[in-house]
Structure 1
Amino acid sequence: MGLSNSKKDSMLRKTIYDFIVNDIDEKPIKLSNYQGKVLIIVNVACSCPLTRRNYNQLNQLYSKYNEKGLEILAFPCNQFYNQEAGSNEEIKDYVKNDLKAKFNLFSKINVNGKNACDLYIYLRFKSSLAGKNIDMNFGKFLIDRQGNVINYYKSNQDPLSFENDILSLLNQ
């Protein structure tokens, strides 16, 4: 990935709550706003074959557990097969109106490579990926209420398949 040792060390000393990301309207959002919540952080794409199933299941989880402390942070990414080619405005319109997502949608980012978002560099190093690249759309990171990366679920793992893991963290 080409990170210098000092950049890597600096990144690993951070917590998830140190990051500021832009929402889909380009408004800066401090992740410290989510302190005490269980988070699913997921890279999404509107034109991926996995889109409808993942959004449907993420919507189900959000509706069921948001009041208990679950937040879902979705980051559009166009690094896989050009499946998120639209502008932030087009993505927002499709996701909110067609896919009916109620959870948080952020500005389009890169999750891999030299232009990867710092948050994703951090997540990749703090998870079972151990700094390796995300392989596809809908890779999901599960974060506990203290901001620890608990697990990474590959794109082929449905969100409902780890519902028990979410429940366990919500009940802690």
Structure 2
Amino acid sequence: MPSQLFSIPLVNIHGETKTMADFTAKAILVVNTASECGFTPQYEELEQLWQRYRAEGLMVLGFPCNQFGQQEKGSNQEIEAFCQLNYGVSFPMFAKVEVNGSGAHPLFGYLKSQAPGLLGHQAIKWNFTKFLISDEGRKVERFAPMTKPLTLADKIARILKDSPTD
């Protein structure tokens, strides 16, 4: 497993420090999220994926970001309450991060370097960009905000089926 990825420090939505190693799984879906975005209803499908595949080894990780249209203005506590109340989110959520620029969280720096966007551009263009990490972190795929989470179900199922069991 790429030590660079799994040593990246994270702060969860409750302020607890973790690393990516705390969230290892056969497949990890990392998403930059926002509460006031046209794509916000994707929380529902992300939760459906989490409920459907977590016992088989899927981890869904949500990272609120306020860099796109100021669509995530709330505090971490407000974000958590919004996600739980409106979408029943139970997958791990993290403290608000930046995904682009000099203040970009190291996780997103790593993911963008492993899976550049269209025409090799590394910048994340909008909320709900998705990164699917598989093969113990050796493979990273990027999906655009308009890609609905449930369209990734077959891909996730294949990764989980093809991953060695513990």
TM-score by length of 1: 0.87
Q: C-alpha deviations, 1:8-44, integer Å up to 9, x for none?
A: xxxxx85311111000011001211223431000000
Cα separation, 1, equivalents of 2:56 and 2:5: 20
How many residue pairs align between the two structures? 159
Is 1:138–2:128 an aligned residue pair? yes
Cα separation, 2, equivalents of 1:105 and 1:36: 16
Question: Aligned letter for 1:37?
Answer: K
Q: Extract structure 1 runs of 4+ deviating beyond 4 A.
A: none
Structure 1: 5+ residue stretches without partners: 1-12
C-alpha contact 1:35 1:145 (8 A) present in aligned 2: no
Counterpart for residue 32 of structure 1:
21
Counterpart for residue 7 of structure 1:
none
Give 1:1-172 correspondences, 5 Å limit. 14-52=3-41, 54-129=42-117, 130=120, 132-172=122-162
TM-superposed CA distance for 1:165, in Å, is 1.0
More displaced 10-residue stretch of structure 1: 137-146 or 33-42:
33-42
Structure 2: 5+ residue stretches without partners: none
C-alpha contact 1:125 1:131 (8 A) present in aligned 2: no
TM-superposed CA distance for 1:131, in Å, is 5.8
Measured at CA, do residues 36 and 100 of structure 1 come closer, stay the same or move farther in structure 2, by a change above 3 Å? closer
TM-superposed CA distance for 1:138, in Å, is 0.2
TM-score by length of 2: 0.90
Cα separation, 2, equivalents of 1:131 and 1:37: 27
Percent of residue pairs bearing the same amino acid type: 31
TM-superposed CA distance for 1:128, in Å, is 3.2
Q: C-alpha deviations, 1:81-114, integer Å up to 9, x for none?
A: 0100011111011112222101010000000001
TM-superposed CA distance for 1:160, in Å, is 1.1
Question: Aligned letter for 2:105?
Answer: C
